[in-house]
Chains A and B, each alone.
Chain A
Amino acid sequence: MPSNAAALSRLMFAEERSLKRFFARLVDRDSLDDTLQALWIRLQRVEDDPPIEDKSAFLFYLARNVALDQGRAEARRKRLQAEIENVVWGDEYVPALDEVAIAKDELARVLAKAEALPEPTRTIFYLNRMDNIRQREIAKRLGVSRTTVEKHMRRALAALGDALDGR
Chain B
Amino acid sequence: MGRSTETDPALTDTARRWLVRLTSGEMTEREMVQFRQWVEEPSHERIFQRELTNWRKLGQLREGLASSIRLPSAAQILRRRLGRWGRIGATAAVAVCSIMIFGPSLLLRAEADHLAGAELRRVTLPDGSHAVLDAGTALAVRFSDGKRRVELLRGRAWFDVAHNPGPRFEVSAAGGIIQDIGTAFEVARKGDDVEAAVSEGTVRVFASSRPGASQVLRAGQRVRFNDTAFAREADIPVRRVAAWRTGNIVLEGVTIRQAVAEVSRYRSGPTWVWGDISTAQPITVVLRSDRPEAALQALAVSANLSLLKMPGGITIVRQKSAQ
Residues of A within 8 A of B (CB): 30-31, 34, 76, 80-81, 83-84, 87-89, 93-94, 98, 100-102, 107, 110-111, 114-115, 122-123, 126, 128-137, 140-141, 146, 150, 153-154, 157-158, 160-161, 164-166
Contact = CB atoms under 8 A, between A and B. Distances in A.
B91 to A, nearest CB: 22
B69 interface: yes
User: Interface of chain B, helix or strand or loop or mixed?
Assistant: helix
A110 B268 CA distance: 22
Given A88-B55, A102-B57, A164-B57, 19 more contacts: A80-B29, A80-B32, A93-B48, A100-B57, A101-B311, A110-B57, A122-B68, A126-B65, A126-B66, A129-B23, A130-B61, A130-B62, A134-B25, A136-B25, A137-B25, A137-B110, A141-B77, A150-B24, A164-B58
A154 B17 contact: yes
B45 A93 contact: yes
Given A30-B110, A100-B53, A123-B71, A134 B16 contact: no
A157 B69 contact: no
Contacts of A160: 54, 58, 61
Contact of A115 (B13, B19, B68, B110): B68
B56 A100 contact: yes
Contacts of A146: 26
24 contacts: A30-B109, A30-B112, A84-B32, A88-B23, A93-B49, A94-B49, A100-B53, A101-B57, A110-B61, A115-B68, A123-B70, A129-B55, A130-B65, A131-B268, A133-B116, A134-B25, A136-B25, A136-B26, A146-B26, A150-B20, A153-B24, A157-B55, A161-B51, A166-B1
B319 interface: no
B116 A131 contact: yes
Contacts of B128: none
A154 B20 contact: yes
Would you list the 3 A-B pairs with minimal beta carbon distance, nearest first? Answer: A134-B25, A132-B106, A111-B64
Contact of A101 (B23, B60, B113): B60
B142 interface: no
A165 B54 contact: yes
Contact of B27 (A80, A93, A130, A137): A80
**Max chain A Cβ within 10 angstroms of own Cβ: one of B12, B54, B62, B77:** B54
A134 B45 CA distance: 25
A111 B65 contact: yes
Given A102-B60, A111-B64, A135 B24 contact: yes
Contacts of B49: 93-94
A165 B70 CA distance: 28
A114 B57 CA distance: 13
A158 B13 CA distance: 7
Contact of A114 (B17, B52, B65, B111): B65
